[in-house]
Amino acid sequence: MIEKSLIDRLSPLVDGRVYFGVAPEDALQPRLVIQTVSGGTGFTLAGWDGSSELTIQLDAWGESFLQALTLAGLAFAAMTADGDDFTTGSADRLPDVFEDDTKLHSVSWEYTLQP
């Protein structure tokens, strides 16, 4: 299960503050938020070929742009490290975000993962 592996890989970077979908309103900074973008499985004429992939968006949030950028870099290193749990097939940087209401910065990447 890639989702559990993501938590295991990323939690040490933010003292466990890794959330799927939306972080709690009172979540401390910095933090990581994961959203599933898509998932797929491979098929042949004989049926499922045993392959699968998951595409996620990983947002690194911080109180400053530098804090978010630094966390995104640490997360990139963790996401692209060789492991028995999953392999990263691609990584694409997404636009940075600043939220006026929360005054938080986000640096985001989209990763395609294979078990």
Structure tokens at 39: 């998932």
Class of domain 2-114 as given by CATH: alpha beta
51-71 mean pLDDT: 93
Can you tell me the distance from the alpha carbon of 53 to that of 84, in angstroms, rounded to the nearest whole number? 15
Asked if 97 contacts 106 with a C-beta cutoff of 8 angstroms, the reply is yes
Asked if 83 contacts 6 with a C-beta cutoff of 8 angstroms, the reply is no
> Which segments of 28-100 does DSSP mark as H helices, in order?
65-79
Would you place residue 41 in the very low, low, confident or very high pLDDT band (cuts 50, 70, 90)?
Answer: low
If one counts every other C-beta atom within 10 angstroms of the C-beta of residue 59, the result is 21
What are the backbone dihedrals phi and psi of residue 24, each rounded to the nearest 5 degrees, phi first?
-60, 150
Distances (CA, A) of 17 to 10, 14, 23, 34, 43: 9, 5, 9, 11, 36
Q: What is the pTM of this model?
A: 0.89
Q: Where are the domains of the chain?
A: 2-114
* pLDDT, tens digit, 9 for 90 and up, residues 1-15: 788 999 999 999 999
Would you place residue 82 in the very low, low, confident or very high pLDDT band (cuts 50, 70, 90)?
Answer: confident
86 vs 62, residue with greater confidence:
62
Residue 69 β-bridge partners? none
